[in-house]
Amino acid sequence: MTGTNLHQFVNHGQKGHTIMIELDKPFPRLYRSILDSIADGVYTVDLNWRVTSFNKAAEKITGIRNEEAIGRKCFEVLRSNMCEDQCILKQVIEARQTVPNRPIYIYRADQKQIPINMTTGVLKNADNRIIGGVMSFRDLSDINTLHKELQKQHSFEDIISKNREMQKIFSILPQIAQSRSTVLIEGESGTGKELFARAIHNNSFHAKGPFVAVNCSALPDSLFESELFGYKVGAFTDAKKDKPGRFDQAQEGTILLDEIGDISLAVQAKLLRVLEQKVYEPLGSVEPVHTNTRVIAATHNNLYQMVLDGNFREDLYYRINIVRLVLPPLRDRKEDIPSLIDHFIGRFNLLNGKEILGVSQEALAVLMLYDWQGNVRELENTIEHAFVMCRGELIRREHLPGRFLPIGKEVQPPPSLVLKDIEKEAITRALERNQWNKSKTARELGIHKNTLRRKIIRFKISGDQK
């Protein structure tokens, strides 16, 4: 390569690139041809972040032509989620080190956001002086689509679960979504009630309309009516102009009445009228407004028990309980924990530009043995905490919040604990919970009875072992 303007072109594979080039001289045709023959998108920038070369694959992936890219600032061309405050190139130049395989998002020319995998290296001239950077990137859309296809069996939209009860709900969710009936979703806090409500909305005839979530427990009686139904100017002293309510905002869409068990009996009567007659009057108005909003109600209470206790109107209960979904707590579907962890790690990797690969065996063991009173939300927050603490590729026990650290005896797995021990432990506990009834246990674990039998033999689980 001596005698050319491109003094050295080295590709270190996983370690990334070091390209030596003199940017003030014309980019030789030979090397442009080489760059154009590469399947990955490649572009170079100078120290003012101006794009100096942009190969054919980069054009194809981004939808931006070479002539449009050259000379422009790289953040105007790629517009990635990292550009503003975590510019990788800046980090690379400061550390004089290649950053390989960062998953990030960029915007294409047609405004579509796509996931890419970016490797960033420094660009040096013949005197070994840094004169810019080189980025190579790969479109991950197809890989992500394939991955999603595989995950589809255990998910509905963004809801992940291989639990049998949840799978049953997934299978009827499209029908529920397409009906116009009111849906009641019951489950402890953090089990995914709002996620399900959104999935129903997204798959319904109302999908193009808005999705409006109202937290009923946050609304005192005095505000409930004005918040839900709005008011007209002069309805009360401070009503200086008309204000639309949440039902107005949700017209043609879906309204989620979250924590419906927390509303008073007086408010329940008002809500019943809307559900029965599909009309309401804003405060200060006598003109009824017709609503076509789909209503989904959610609660962490046992509404039927509330009816029996006289705290919830029976007629309203039957009105909202046309279709009822009960989401099991996470401690009853621990088989979901590993895939939920993967799901959150994938999401946080993309958001934070990190490349964490997973959790260590010991960390997984404590997460599997934990009780998860806060359900999936608590798991999500735990992984987010670990993300902040983790500097390497693997989340270890020490990265988890304090309650997972070895002070309490109950969460101390033996150091040799491996995945099969966790599985054995989970199966034994499930068998105990179900009085060693194999059909019930298999159902709870979401596996076939024959699979359970095989595992009992393989793990040498016997009734008297504990």
Ligand X SMILES: Nc1ncnc2c1ncn2[C@@H]1O[C@H](COP(=O)(O)OP(=O)(O)OP(=O)(O)O)[C@@H](O)[C@H]1O
| Cβ nearer to ligand X, comparing 123 with 159 | 159
Position among 190, 253, 353, 413 found at the interface with ligand X (CB under 6 A): 190
- Do the beta carbons of residue 313 and residue 303 sit within 8 Å? no
Please tell me the distance from the alpha carbon of residue 202 to that of residue 156, in angstroms, as a whole number: 11
Exposure class string for 4-16: b at 16+ Cβ within 10 A, else e: ebbbeeeeeeeeb
- Cβ at position 379, least distance to ligand X in Å: 8
Give me the residues paired with residue 151 across strands: none
Tell me if 343 contacts ligand X by CB under 6 A: yes
Helix 193-202 to helix 164-178 angle, to the nearest 10 degrees?
40
CA distances in angstroms from 184 to 89, 197, 207, 262, 294, listed in the order given: 50, 9, 18, 14, 12
- Cβ at position 342, least distance to ligand X in Å: 11
- Do the beta carbons of residue 281 and residue 229 sit within 8 Å? yes
- Do the beta carbons of residue 350 and residue 343 sit within 8 Å? no
Alpha carbon of residue 307 to chain centroid: 35
- Do the beta carbons of residue 136 and residue 100 sit within 8 Å? no
Tell me if 195 contacts ligand X by CB under 6 A: yes
| Cβ nearer to ligand X, comparing 83 with 185 | 185
Please tell me the distance from the alpha carbon of residue 4 to that of residue 466, in angstroms, as a whole number: 76
| Cβ nearer to ligand X, comparing 192 with 209 | 192
Please tell me the distance from the alpha carbon of residue 191 to that of residue 166, in angstroms, as a whole number: 11
Position among 68, 194, 384, 421 found at the interface with ligand X (CB under 6 A): 194
- Cβ at position 339, least distance to ligand X in Å: 9
Position among 52, 53, 191, 204 found at the interface with ligand X (CB under 6 A): 191
Instruction: Please tell me the chain's helix, strand, coil percentages from 3-state DSSP, rounded to the nearest 5.
Output: 45, 20, 35
Q: Which span (57-65, 90-98, 182-190, 317-325) binds ligand X, by CB under 6 A?
A: 182-190
- Cβ at position 370, least distance to ligand X in Å: 16
Tell me if 187 contacts ligand X by CB under 6 A: yes
Position among 17, 300, 333, 334 found at the interface with ligand X (CB under 6 A): 300
Neighbours of 266 (CB within 10 A): 10
- Cβ at position 124, least distance to ligand X in Å: 45
Tell me if 192 contacts ligand X by CB under 6 A: yes
Tell me if 186 contacts ligand X by CB under 6 A: no
Q: Which span (38-46, 122-130, 189-197, 385-393) binds ligand X, by CB under 6 A?
A: 189-197
Q: Nearest residue to ligand X, using CB?
A: 192
Neighbours of 49 (CB within 10 A): 18
Is the Cα dihedral 364, 368, 372, 375 positive or negative?
Answer: positive
Total binding residues toward ligand X, as defined by CB under 6 A: 19
Run of H or E including 57: helix 56-62
Tell me if 217 contacts ligand X by CB under 6 A: no
The contact mask relative to ligand X for 119-158 (x = CB under 6 A, - = no) is ---------------------------------------x
Given the structure tokens 């001239």, which residue do they identify?
125
Q: Which two tokens stand for residue 396?
A: 């270890």
Given the structure tokens 């100078």, which residue do they identify?
46
Position among 154, 193, 201, 246 found at the interface with ligand X (CB under 6 A): 193
DSSP collapsed to 3 states, 375-400: HHHHHHHHHHHHHHHCCCCEECHHHC
Position among 145, 189, 305, 437 found at the interface with ligand X (CB under 6 A): 189
Given the structure tokens 């054919």, which residue do they identify?
56
| Contacts of ligand X in 253-292 (CB under 6 A) | 258
Q: Which two tokens stand for residue 312?
A: 């919830």
- Cβ at position 420, least distance to ligand X in Å: 25
The contact mask relative to ligand X for 159-178 (x = CB under 6 A, - = no) is xxx-----------------
| Cβ nearer to ligand X, comparing 77 with 159 | 159
| Cβ nearer to ligand X, comparing 70 with 195 | 195
Tell me if 62 contacts ligand X by CB under 6 A: no
- Cβ at position 431, least distance to ligand X in Å: 25
- Cβ at position 230, least distance to ligand X in Å: 24
| Contacts of ligand X in 363-382 (CB under 6 A) | 376-377, 380
The closest of 411, 443, 448, 417 to 430, measured between CA atoms, is: 443
Q: Which residues are at the interface with ligand X (CB under 6 A)?
A: 158-161, 187, 189-195, 258, 300, 340, 343, 376-377, 380
